[in-house]
A and B are shown apart, each in its own frame.
Chain A
């Protein structure tokens, strides 16, 4: 889908946890999300922290719209490193 937005001249930030797959399918501006069932946020965090995480992720995603990219490029938001690991 992202390629059709590119084709229409609209830069598009694809926020997804499946970044390698997005790259194989040749999406251009790919932003790594948190997890497949919750790309923007983390249900294991308290509400306020989840909101802060989501805002930081979306902020970094939107910034890629200003980035010149040669082709499929994965951006890894620094904020992802701050999420505590969840044990199942």
Chain B
């Protein structure tokens, strides 16, 4: 049997370049397997090999998305690879987004199998659902790196099947997330019968499987614009994790489920040394030194003085945004919004890191 050639995409962390301090590392290519590529290759027992590994920093990717995608496409072409693997990224948002985006580019331009793996709530999943080139696949993984062995085993198996041109079964059978591509199949029971059976099962409290699952990222139409910014009361929200020094509300660096608000009444700026940034998803060194990068109070006061907007709500709202569950983010913002509306707020500036 012919040996499949694979290219593997990683971030700087999994490539062993370093931690958050190296998140700006530009794109780089190394021969052969690197990091998780080594155990991945072991799964194939010689039936496939990683010809090259390409990686870049988590912060480098979003600002050079086209350059990185073009580099990965070129590499897959040069190596005559039949498969691109990316990740697994688990619940790392920047990494997941990059993995899904490079897979989409490779699948779209070259039509080769492009497979990534991540936690189903990773924002990268939305890229996957939005793109749907037919040779792109996303394997659901655990939330954290503790699910590495399982993720690699599933990605390796799918890589062999998709890369060798084997006709694939349903997402369930093959272990990838459905992406809304419909394939006609013949079944014994009519739609009417299946639907009634589902209703009966639901009423009885028995398990059933819908054939038309609802999407998890609902579309919300934009709120109508402000009629007059100049007279409007605005509130500031930040996911940067800027909190008073000492972190009085004990925010964690990741997966927060609560939010807080802190007074900025009468303050002209965020005095250095009185604040710190609590967030495990980016290098907080700059933010702690100058909290205005996440809470631009000095600029807002200047614009308030100039009359660009009416007035600033006397507290700002914060939740460190790292790895927050989508459902929790919806709930927390809903709670903030309710309070703001009660306080006469008419518009929001949301600063996200």
Interface residues of A (CB under 8 A from B): 1-18, 20-22, 24-26, 28-29, 33, 35-41, 43, 50-51, 54-55, 57-59, 61-63, 65-71, 88
Asked whether any CB of chain A lies closer than 8 Å to the CB of B248, the reply is no
Interface of A is mostly: mixed
Question: 6 other contacts beyond A10-B346, A24-B126, A62-B303, with CB at 8 A cut-off?
Answer: A4-B336, A7-B220, A10-B337, A13-B350, A21-B93, A25-B126
Q: Do B63 and A35 touch across chains, with their CB atoms under 8 A apart?
A: yes
Most buried by A among B97, B218, B223: B223
Residues of chain B within 8 A of A70, CB atoms compared: 222
Q: Does A59 contact B308, Cβ atoms closer than 8 Å?
A: yes
Contact assessment for B24 and A88 in the assembled complex, using a CB-CB cutoff below 8 Å: yes
Bound Cα distance from A3 to B287, whole angstroms: 25
Contact of B127 with A by CB under 8 A: yes
Interface residues on B, range: 35 or more
Q: Which residues of A contact B234 (CB under 8 A)?
A: 62, 65
Chain B residues contacting A8 (CB-CB under 8 Å) are 223, 334, 337-338, 340-341
Determine if B226 and A11 form an interchain contact, defined as CB atoms under 8 angstroms apart: yes
Asked if B88 CB lies within 8 Å of chain A CBs, one says no
Chain A, Cβ-Cβ closest to B259: A1
Contact B351 A39 (CB under 8 A): yes
B279 to chain A, nearest CB (A): 9
Is chain B's binding surface mostly helix, strand, loop or mixed? mixed
Q: Which residues on B sit within 8 Å (CB–CB) of A63?
A: 229
Mark out the residues of chain B between 257 and 288 whose CB falls within 8 Å of any chain A CB in the assembled complex.
282-287
23 contacts between A and B (CB under 8 A): A2-B348, A3-B220, A5-B340, A5-B350, A6-B221, A8-B223, A10-B341, A10-B345, A10-B348, A13-B349, A13-B350, A16-B353, A18-B62, A24-B97, A24-B126, A24-B127, A51-B292, A54-B299, A55-B298, A58-B299, A65-B234, A69-B225, A88-B25
* Minimum Cβ distance to chain B for residue A63 (Å): 7
A43 with B286: CB separation less than 8 A: yes
Instruction: Collect the chain B residues with CB atoms within 8 Å of residue A25's CB.
Output: 123, 126, 217
- Whether the Cβ atoms of A41 and B59 lie closer than 8 Å is no
Task: Tell me if B208 is interfacial: C-beta within 8 Å of chain A.
Answer: no
Residues of A within 8 A of B157 (CB): none
Provide the residues of chain A in CB contact with B197, threshold 8 Å: none
CB-CB under 8 A from A58, the residues of chain B are 296, 299-300, 303, 349
